[in-house]
Amino acid sequence: MIESMLVFGLVNSAVLMLLALGFSLTFGLSGVANFSHGGIYLFAGYLAYFLLKMGLPYFIAVVLTIFITALLGAAIYKLIVIRVRGIVLNEVIATFAIGICMLEFFRWLGFVTYEYSLPYIARGRFTIFETTLDYQRSLIIVVALLLAVFLWFFTHRTKTGLALLGMAQDEYTALAVGIDSDWAATYSFAIGGAFAAIAAVMILPLGIININIGYEVLLIALAVTVLGGLESTKGLILACIILGYAQVITSTFFAPHWKEAVYLAAILIVLAVKPSGLLGKFKELEERV
Amino acid sequence: MKAGYRKERIDRGIKARADDIFAISSYREILYLTGPRILAVLALLIYPLLTDVTGAYWQTVAFIACIIALLTLSWNFLFSVGLVSLGQAYFFGVGAYFTGFFDRTIGLPPLYSIPLATVAGAILCTIIIYPVLRLRGIYFALITFALPLFLMRIIEATGYLGGTEGISGLQRLPGITFSLYVTVVIVLAVTFIFLRLFDTDYGLVLRAIHDNDMSVLAGGLNVQLYKAQAVFIAAMPATFAGALMTLHYRIVGMPAFAVEYSILPLTAAVVGGTGTFAGGVLGAFILVPFSELLRAFGTLRIVMYGIMLLFFVVGLPEGIYRFAQRKYFQFERIVPLEEKADEK
Amino acid sequence: MKNKELLKVTGLSKSFGGVKAVNNVSFTLYEGESIGVIGPNGSGKSTLINLITGFIKPDSGTVIYKGRNITGIAPNRAVNLGIARSFQMVRPFYNMEAYKNLIIPLYSPRVKKQLQGGNFGDRDEIAIQLLEDVGFERESQIPYKLTGSLPHGYLKRLELARCLCLEPDLVVLDELFSGMSMSEVASTVPILERILQEGRDMIMIEHRIRELFRIVNKVICLNFGKKIAEGTPEEVMNTKEVKEAYLGSEGESIA
């Protein structure tokens, strides 16, 4: 009982983290809250489905999906967001509109039946701590960890990453030392898209592809980002672990459908106690409250 | 143009010091200034009486436009205080469910259940939103986006208030003309009250919060409290819309929290011009008939709203209302040149 | 013979992400006194003021105002107790006419309820009079102009006027003179002197030492969040640490 809760809590946390990383990354680096994250996520899911259906080998289809979704992210910035950049409200409305357009368009196309699902990367299961775990779920944990490490390495050790980080901290200073703001933002949207695609390829095989997942993914990304505090990868991981385990606990001891209410409760409690998020580093009143 | 004549802006002589202070010297100038408003109000008041001409269908369309207009007024009020809402369905749904509850569980007649649901719904909305009022900008938008979805989940999970089936078989309202007339009057009244409210010192404080809430704090005012009051005031038109809509269709269910009630007011507000109350109403009356024409496309309508939203945010961020107002005040008339006039 | 204590700050500390912005600062402000806070950039002066006025909650330490513990109080409640502040970066309401900026503080509970006659009178008229007091010309259009279109010097004086609206007992000014021209500074100094004569106390952060020393009778110098000197202006300027903080120590300059 306890063991299975521990293991599935970990799986849950990893799922949340995969879903939130792309959103949080774009937000952290370009300052634009990409409300079309859910739409991009499902786009990647359907793209992978159709590429596989065309008979492409799994590996090539996945790489292609990630690449095309990254291009989509960049295109969203280059074509639309760039025109409303700086007006926060308009950024939110524009990306929100893009997301809704994509999701409802998929719904209209009728992508809602049971045939739409992605294959497992690896079938089979093994037993650990007296809990049976399938390879897909354990892979999710590994990929989530790898992405987090990659993210840290990218933003702290590579030139591009450092430039983006500088951009996030002070746009004007970064401009003054010769970093192109639009280039950086396009880059961050592209990486956000790629992360969403990785998440889609990893997580969607666990169930069927459903339009409402798109809205849910956006909610999860928001909940995790608000909860963990911006700018803080550690906060993100902590928030995922808290939410992941809170979900497992509520669905074990109460009822499974209550776990959705966990997000709201967690956000409300954390915001009431510490408005800058769990590990937010901002000067509290100056920035967010 | 004929020789000896020149063009003159009509508003030049009327606008005295600022855009909203006028020096009027003739009835024609009064007409010029008030004409559009009077026409709009008259049109709204007469339209519901024309059931025989328009047919019941277009009356219902006007009714829905009024409902969306109320939600848009509420959105614009929140926006004027610096709170951006992506989930007007939250207010709408709370009002709707309260009505259902008062009607079925307690058995109140509509005359009491509508006002009660309006006020009780607004109070509940304010209480739920109070802890997150400290958030600004997109953080608040995130929460409002989540709220209707969460309430929907909670009702689904607990099965209270009819669960997934909803509450049906509510009491009957007199008919479409009645519903339409009530909403039209309420829309006009709310627009008027909101406009006046923002001219008072109290409204100035609310506008100041939109501008810079730190300075309001430094001015010794409890920003949190004023925001809560603003949410309460803004919630009332929306909860009323929910209440009336519920009783009109005699059913309330989870669609009351549907994304359509969030995105339609948002689109209407952006189309009309964010922050302008009359613009929001105008936006609603453009958008809803337009969406009725698109009914054949089914769910593709929401995609159309999204595209429209995108188009206006990127292409005409000031909105139709401000654009039309600017153009209206740029009307020119042709007057004879002074020298020529002297010769005659 | 000292007057009554108005403000007593003990052991105030605050750190942001590991950096100690304010480190164990204590001082006392007696009634009828005025304190100037000096120090190099980034020495924690603004943070100190934010801690006192409630805009940031301290990690440790206490602030006693009129015998009452106001540590970590909400900013608006601090204002209603009589502590008014100006911001270093001006924060006017850009979308309003200049005089309407003052309506907001005039609408506060302190003015409405606590001050005699606060709920009566035409707020517009009072606002314009106050603007005249801080150097806006009465006859001109300036008070009626959109705040966003005013030059920076006017915005600074608008900040000052916003403090005065509240009839405060303690005025806290955060670099009021920065961004003002020499003539504007010269015309503002008498206004500050008059505020002191009206019996209000003042805490001033300032980089313009000469004007500051004309106004205040006590100076605190901060460096790296720590208080390194306190006393009359002459005493502070002759302290070794202060000289080092501003000019660098001799050892450093050789290396």
- Across residues B318-337, what is the average pLDDT? 81
Q: Considering only A31-40, A230-239, B103-112, which range has the smallest mean pLDDT?
A: A230-239
> Does residue A281 sit at the C interface (CB-CB below 8 Å)?
yes
| Residues on chain A touching B297 (C-beta within 8 angstroms) | 108
Q: CB atoms < 10 A from the CB of A103, how many?
A: 26
Query: A232-247 burial, b for 16+ CB within 10 Å, e for fewer?
Result: bbebbbbbbbbbbbbb
B92 touches chain A (CB under 8 A): no
The answer to whether residue A281 scores a pLDDT higher than 60 is: no
A287 touches chain C (CB under 8 A): no
Q: How many CA atoms lie within 13 A of C129 on its CB side?
A: 8
The interface pTM score, or ipTM, of the predicted complex is: 0.81
How many Cβ pairs within 8 Å bridge chains A and C? 11
Higher pLDDT, B90 or C125: B90
Closest Cβ opposite residue A255 in set B157, B302, B317: B157
Ordered by start, the domain boundaries in chain B are: 56-334
Say what the pLDDT of residue A289 is.
33
Please tell me the CATH code under which domain B56-334 is placed.
Answer: 1.10.3470
Please tell me which of A29-38, B186-195, C164-173 the model is most confident about, judged by mean pLDDT: B186-195
Mean of pLDDT values over A159-178: 72
State the Cα–Cα distance between residues A27 and A185, nearest whole angstrom. Answer: 10
Quote the minimal CA–CA distance from C218 to chain B in Å.
25
Question: CB of B258 within 8 Å of any CB in chain A?
Answer: no
**How many Cβ pairs closer than 8 A exist between chain B and C?**
83
Which residue from C94, C108, C123 is facing B219, i.e. has the nearest CB?
Answer: C108
Chain A CB contacts of B139 under 8 Å are 226, 288
pLDDT band at B210 (very low <50, low <70, confident <90, very high): confident
Chain C contact for A273 (CB, 8 A cutoff): no
| A264: nearest CA partner in chain B | B150
Our CA-based measurement puts residue B110 at a distance from the nearest CA of chain A, in whole angstroms, of 32
Residue that has been written with the tokens 């709920």 in this structure: C119
Touching B (3+ Cβ pairs <8 A), the chains are: A, C
pLDDT tens digits, one per residue of C21-45: 888 888 888 888 888 888 887 788 8
Q: Which of C55, C88, C174 is best to mutate for the A interface (most A CBs within 10 A)?
A: C55
Chain position carrying tokens 């000197």? C229
C57 contacts A284? CB cut-off 8 A:
yes
Q: Which chain B residues contact residue A285 at CB under 8 A? A: 214
Cβ contact, residue pair B220, C79, below 8 Å: yes
Q: Do B189 and B75 touch, CB atoms closer than 8 A?
A: no
B201, B215, B224: best to mutate for the C interface, most C CBs within 10 A: B215
Closest residue to A33, CB basis, from B138, B274, B297: B138
Q: Give helix A37-53 / helix A58-76 axis angle, nearest 10°.
A: 150
**Mean pLDDT rounded to a whole number for chain C:** 81
Res A288: pLDDT: 35
Residue of chain A nearest B301, judged by CA positions = A104
Contact partners of A by the rule of 3+ C-beta pairs under 8 A?
Answer: B, C
Amino acid at C141: Q
Using the Cβ of C22 and the Cβ atoms of chain A, whether some distance falls under 8 Å is answered with no
Q: pLDDT tens for residues B36-87? A: 888 888 888 888 777 777 777 888 888 888 999 999 999 999 998 888 888 8
Pairwise CA distance, residues A113 & C75, whole Å: 56
pLDDT grade, residue B149 (50/70/90)? confident
Check residue C248 and give its pLDDT: 66
Q: What is the Cα–Cα distance from A74 to A187, expressed in whole angstroms?
A: 7
**Range among A144-158, A182-196, B328-342, C131-145 rated most confident:** A182-196
Which H or E element spans position C6?
strand C5-16
Judge: A283–C57 Cβ closer than 8 Å, yes or no. Answer: no
Out of B158-167, B205-214, C10-19, C30-39, pick the least confident: B158-167
Per-residue pLDDT averaged across A251-258, rounded?
Answer: 71
CB pairs under 8 A, 24+ apart, for B124-130?
A: B124/B94, B124/B98, B125/B90, B125/B91, B125/B94, B125/B231, B125/B232, B125/B235, B125/B239, B126/B228, B126/B231, B126/B232, B126/B235, B129/B231, B130/B228, B130/B231
Hey, are the CB atoms on C56 and A281 less than 8 Å from each other? Answer: no
Flag if A281 and C17 touch (Cβ within 8 Å): yes
pLDDT digits (tens, 9 = 90+) for B304-324: 888 888 888 888 888 888 888
Separation CA A152–CA C124 (nearest Å): 56
* Domain extent listing, chain A: 2-287
Q: What is the reported pLDDT for B190?
A: 92
C19-30 vs C170-174, strand pairing mode: unpaired
- Choose the most confident range, by mean pLDDT, from A52-66, B189-203, C212-226, C229-243: B189-203
- Where is average pLDDT lowest: C39-53, C95-109, C235-249? C235-249
Contact residues, B window 31-60, toward C, CB-based 8 Å cutoff: none
A-contacting residues in C 1-20 (Cβ below 8 Å): 16-17
Task: Over range C188-215, report the average pLDDT.
Answer: 85
Q: Give the per-residue pLDDT at A287.
A: 39
Nearest to B195 by CA among B112, B76, B22, B338: B76
